[in-house]
């Protein structure tokens, strides 16, 4: 890509109406400056973290579209975003970059193994990004990086054995064992795609996945399918349930039951000290946390009920985790 | 206890018609001699392991009965069994003992926290046994010790991340993470008491526990309850299912479905490389392993399906694990 193309891309990004400036909940503390990218199916968060650990230029921009494998357009866009951050902050020279992506990730090999909405299969994202950026790149799964940030900086920092769940469009999870991420080659933590019972077929190909019933996205979709009314997200469905809407009540109740079953399995088998819940659904507050705590306690017996605590880093845990990972390289 | 009382106890043990001499599947390898005890709700396995790691005098004797907390009678019996082993093998001087028990165990604190059929609550079994035996005692959960033996000597030895399930009267489990037991203070691995759906209330107090539907004991009990015919164990129910008995088929099918759901949860969340299955039900062979593998594959999608492998140490994994633990102390 030429500089002229770069400039045109930057202009696209700047002009994009869905670009959004964000503020990080925490610094990552002192260290070398690093770039960080949190790539999702619909948007990319990018920032330059300075020597104090403050996120400079943190913003959300759309993930570039492409048919099939979006590796090439993504790597290209990371280069553009990096150039833009550098242009805005010429005195802050990054020594490494952190890149986190969704799906199945082989962090050790630097591979994006699979991501249903990004189209890649075994894509060497770490090495491609390193070549494009001219920096060493730390590469990880987005929710594992987010959970690492929650562990180091946020809601999980008091616990050596914890599970971080992000309940939004889908449900993603990450385990911390003995204070370290437990990844099982990238296959661990797929709580959203764990079957809870017979249920609808999931886009992943399995049947009865938790996130088809209990994600924020599923709760809103189920209400719309049942009533023809498009709710303003899961939060609206929960509010309608509280106000006595019987359809909303049934959907919210069944979502809570499904989450309870999954958390009960997790409690019996893994017995984490805490389950940290973030993502859009966590903003339901007591309606979520108090209900889950009560149902989990009713459902189990001698088991050690984990503390259920809200994530603290809001939507920025992923990019904070990417910055922490990059710092570990630099 | 006096020597005369000891002698009377020994005579009891020797005369007990349910005492049974056993042969261990493996040696534990060279090292110092150790005593080992694997305590269950109905019987105790005991042996003296010599410097070659061969189990001497390995046998099964009944767990002494008592109302409520059976700590005192158990510790007393361990002393008697130790004296008997010493009398039979005067040249083999144990330097430590290994004691493994069921239920909730706090291995670090040496406590039997809870065991439904042994009646104790926070019983300091390690220190009591050490005082009675005059030896340092390594103390652990029976299935965790068995899984450790399967890891070191048996079916799990190729895998750093694995789960060992023992499906017998109940269903117990133990996790190995990075080649080390993962215990979560004794609360991890309770797969038998993880809820799979609405179901009968379990003696543990929870509802819908896996072992109420899918343990070998439950399969036999469910058949008896449905037909009035007492089967010769789960194996008999499985044989009747294969021969076309519709009641047996329905029970075995639902047990397999429940096991599949639980293993699917485990695969999605923990993603072990292998699930090693022992206990009475594992002797069903292909009827169990091939069915579980097929159902698990059908139920999941992108997940990494674990190898499903039979345990290799038969019923002696627990006492081999106790001996390994004792060796670590000595
Ligand atoms: Zn799925
Ligand atoms: Zn139970």
Residue B9 CB coordination number (10 Å)? 19
Binding-face residues of B in 83-142 toward A, CB within 8 A: 104, 114
What's the token pair of residue A242?
């509280």
Bridge partners for B209 per DSSP: B195
Q: Which residues of B touch A175 (CB under 8 A)?
A: 269-270
CB-based burial label for A24 (10 Å; 0-12, 13-18, 19+):
buried
Determine, for residues A184 and B301 on separate chains, whether the beta-carbon distance falls below 8 Å. no
Task: Find out whether A238 and A280 touch, Cβ atoms under 8 Å.
Answer: no
Mean pLDDT of A213-235: 96
Determine, for residues B265 and A194 on separate chains, whether the beta-carbon distance falls below 8 Å. yes
pLDDT, residue A25, reads 67
Closest by CA to A112, choosing from A96, A94, A99, is: A99
What's the token pair of residue B314?
């038969």
Query: Looking at the domain covering A159-311, what would its CATH class be?
Result: alpha beta
| Strand-strand pairing, B55-62 and B180-182 | unpaired
Q: Which residues of A touch B205 (CB under 8 A)?
A: 301-302
Superfamily of domain A13-148+315-329: ATPase, nucleotide binding domain (3.30.420.40)
**In sequence order, what are the residues at sequence separation of 6 or more whose Cβ sits closer than 8 angstroms to the Cβ of residue A250?**
none
Look at B182 and A249; give whichever has higher pLDDT.
Answer: A249
Q: Which ligand is nearest to the CA of B300?
A: 1
Q: Which of A177, A187, A299 is opposite residue B177, by nearest beta carbon?
A: A177
Task: Find out whether A62 and A18 touch, Cβ atoms under 8 Å.
Answer: yes
Task: Find out whether B238 and B222 touch, Cβ atoms under 8 Å.
Answer: no
Mean pLDDT of A215-240: 96
Determine, for residues A184 and B266 on separate chains, whether the beta-carbon distance falls below 8 Å. no
Whose tokens are 């005082």? That residue is B131
Instruction: Look at residue A8 and tell me whether its pLDDT is greater than 50.
Output: no
Digitized pLDDT (tens) for each residue of chain B, 330 residues in all:
334 433 333 333 343 434 677 777 689 999 999 999 999 988 999 999 999 999 999 999 999 988 889 999 999 999 999 999 999 999 999 999 999 999 889 999 999 999 878 999 999 999 999 999 999 999 999 988 988 898 889 888 889 999 999 898 889 888 988 888 888 888 899 999 999 877 888 988 898 999 999 999 999 999 999 999 999 999 999 999 999 999 999 999 999 999 999 999 999 999 999 999 998 899 888 899 999 999 999 999 989 999 999 998 877 899 999 999 999 997
Closest by CA to B195, choosing from A264, A171, A249, is: A264
What are A102-159's pLDDT values in tens digits? 988 999 999 999 987 899 999 999 999 999 999 999 999 998 898 889 888 988 888 9
Distance (Å) from CA A192 to ligand 1 centroid: 7
Torsion angle, CA of A289/A295/A296/A302, rounded to 10 degrees? Answer: 140
Closest by CA to B208, choosing from B216, B198, B217, is: B198
pLDDT, residue B37, reads 98
Q: Do domains B13-148+315-329 and B159-311 have the same CATH topology?
A: yes
Residue ranges covered by each domain of chain B: 13-148+315-329, 159-311
pLDDT, residue B19, reads 60
Whose tokens are 């993880």? That residue is B194
Chain B contact for A182, CB < 8 A? yes
What are A58-105's pLDDT values in tens digits? 999 999 988 889 999 999 999 999 999 999 999 999 999 999 999 889
Query: Whole-model pTM?
Result: 0.81
Q: Which residues of B touch A191 (CB under 8 A)?
A: 268-269
What's the token pair of residue A203?
């886009």
What is the Cα–Cα distance from A88 to A79, expressed in whole angstroms? 14
Q: Which ligand is nearest to the CA of B200?
A: 2
What is the Cα–Cα distance from A275 to A129, expressed in whole angstroms? 33
Task: Find out whether B311 and B149 touch, Cβ atoms under 8 Å.
Answer: no
Q: Which ligand is nearest to the CA of B202?
A: 2
Cα Dmax for chain A: 65
- E-strand ranges in A168-224 read 171-177, 180-182
What are A232-246's pLDDT values in tens digits? 999 999 999 999 999
What is the Cα–Cα distance from B211 to A282, expressed in whole angstroms? 33
Task: Find out whether A233 and A188 touch, Cβ atoms under 8 Å.
Answer: no
A165 band by pLDDT with thresholds 50, 70 and 90: very high
What is the Cα–Cα distance from A264 to A250, expressed in whole angstroms? 21
Q: What is the mean pLDDT of chain A?
A: 90
What's the token pair of residue A225?
């399918």
What is the Cα–Cα distance from B27 to B55, expressed in whole angstroms? 7
Phi, psi of A195 (to 5 degrees): -75, 135
């Amino acid at each position: 890509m030429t500089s002229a193309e770069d400039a045109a891309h930057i202009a696209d990004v700047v002009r994009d109406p869905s670009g959004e400036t964000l503020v990080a909940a925490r610094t990552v503390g002192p260290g070398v400056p690093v770039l960080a990218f949190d790539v999702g199916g619909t948007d990319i968060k990018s920032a330059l973290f300075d020597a104090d650990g403050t996120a400079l230029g943190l913003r959300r921009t759309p993930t570039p579209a492409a048919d099939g494998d979006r590796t090439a357009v993504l790597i290209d866009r990371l280069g553009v975003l990096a150039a833009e951050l550098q242009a805005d902050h010429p005195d802050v020279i990054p020594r490494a970059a952190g890149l986190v992506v969704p799906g199945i990730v082989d962090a050790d090999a630097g591979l994006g193994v699979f991501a249903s909405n990004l189209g890649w299969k075994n894509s060497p994202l770490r090495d491609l990004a390193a070549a494009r950026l001219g920096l060493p790149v730390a590469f990880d799964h987005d929710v594992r990086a987010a959970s690492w940030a929650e562990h180091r900086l946020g809601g999980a920092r008091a616990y050596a054995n914890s599970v971080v769940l992000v309940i939004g469009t889908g449900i993603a999870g990450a385990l911390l064992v003995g204070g370290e991420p437990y990844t099982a080659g990238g296959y661990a933590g797929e709580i959203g795609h764990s079957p809870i019972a017979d249920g609808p077929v999931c886009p992943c190909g399995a049947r009865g996945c938790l996130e088809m019933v209990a994600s924020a996205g599923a709760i809103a979709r189920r209400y719309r399918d049942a009533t023809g009314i498009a709710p303003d997200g899961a939060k609206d469905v929960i509010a309608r349930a509280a106000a006595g809407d019987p359809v909303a009540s049934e959907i919210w109740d069944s979502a809570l039951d499904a989450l309870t079953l999954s958390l009960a399995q997790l409690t019996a088998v893994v017995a984490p000290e805490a389950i940290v819940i973030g993502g859009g659904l966590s903003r339901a507050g007591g309606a979520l946390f108090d209900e889950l705590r009560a149902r989990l306690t009713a459902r189990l017996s001698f088991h050690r009920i984990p503390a259920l605590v809200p994530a603290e880093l809001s939507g920025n845990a992923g990019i904070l985790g990417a910055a922490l990972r990059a710092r570990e390289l630099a």
